[in-house]
Amino acid sequence: MTAPVFVVESLATAQAGAQVRLDGPEGRHAVSVRRLRVGEEIILTDGAGTGVYGEVAAVDGKDALTVAVAEVRDEPEPQPRITVVQALPKGDRGEVAVETMTETGVDVIVPWSAARCVTQWRGERGAKSLRKWRATAREAGKQARRLRFPEVTEPHSSKQLAELLQGAAFAAVLHEEGSEPLARAELPAEGDIVLVVGPEGGVSPEELAIFAAAGAKPCLLGPTVLRTSTAGTAAAAVLLARTGRW
């Protein structure tokens, strides 16, 4: 079984043969919940591509331990980079989407307040929802044994999305009326691939026009209609396989 992953703020000074202390909430989880003991394997990451592989050298009380470093790995940013623009779903389906996209391997997740979204992020409610998405990405990244966690950006408007799409090496809107299947679209070897996932009510004609002007064409994912909380994960799997990242 792969060693469990815990997050530390910085691993800038970590090196093989040295020791790293894990404390705070992550140390408490490792000692009191996972019940790690001396000699067990453990992985530490900063979530930005650096990972420490080693074993527990000492346990200090109920909330801290020391890791003897066997190896330090630096994982380069993957190419092409995959960004999924996720329209805001109802209830907890947003966290479900973030969790599964993180486990699959999406690199950037962009919350989008689409015109037909029932849920809208405003004020403190919006800030709380964003914190939940980011916490979900962090925990799912640990579960998936990722060294580089996905970035969950600030919410974007359709106008802001147009700017993002213009800078992409490949941009598409998942849409049931798309003429080209995503599985056959010509994909770049590097740069940013940006996919737009609409809300349950669909992407409005006005939004489709804005995105088309920015270079994003509608693409068909498959013969069935997926929910907004699962479409991004399914599409990411197609892209990861086709680009050789899987």
Instruction: State residue 134's pLDDT score.
Output: 98
Local confidence band at 18 (pLDDT 50, 70, 90 cut-offs): very high
Average pLDDT of span 174-178 = 84
pLDDT of residue 127: 95
* Mean pLDDT of the 75-93 span: 95
Whether residue 1 has pLDDT greater than 80: no
Distance of alpha carbon 146 from alpha carbon 157, whole angstroms: 29
Task: Please answer whether residues 59 and 31 qualify as being in contact, where contact means their C-beta atoms are separated by less than 8 angstroms.
Answer: yes
Report the distance separating Cα 186 and Cα 166, nearest Å. Answer: 17
Q: What is the pLDDT of residue 178?
A: 78
Burial 169-186 (b: 16+ CB within 10 A, else e): ebbbbbbeebeeebeebe
Span 148-154, average pLDDT: 98
Sketch out the chain's domains with CATH numbers: 5-74 (2.40.240.20), 81-241 (3.40.1280.10)
Is 168:57 a contact under the CB 8 Å cutoff?
A: no
The predicted model scores a pTM of: 0.94
Note the pLDDT tens digit of each residue in 40-82.
999 999 999 999 999 999 999 999 999 999 999 999 999 999 9
Angle (CA) 147 151 156, round 5°: 170
At 228, list the tokens.
Answer: 């907004």
What are the CA-CA distances from residue 78 to residues 33, 82, 106, 108, 208 (Å)?
A: 32, 9, 10, 11, 29
Neighbouring-strand partners of residue 109: 84, 152
**Average pLDDT of the residues in 105-110:** 98
Contact indicator for 9, 46 with CB cutoff of 8 Å: yes
Burial of 140 (0-12, 13-18, 19+ CB in 10 A): buried
Residues 110-133 have a mean pLDDT of 93
Are the C-beta atoms of 14 and 52 separated by less than 8 Å?
yes
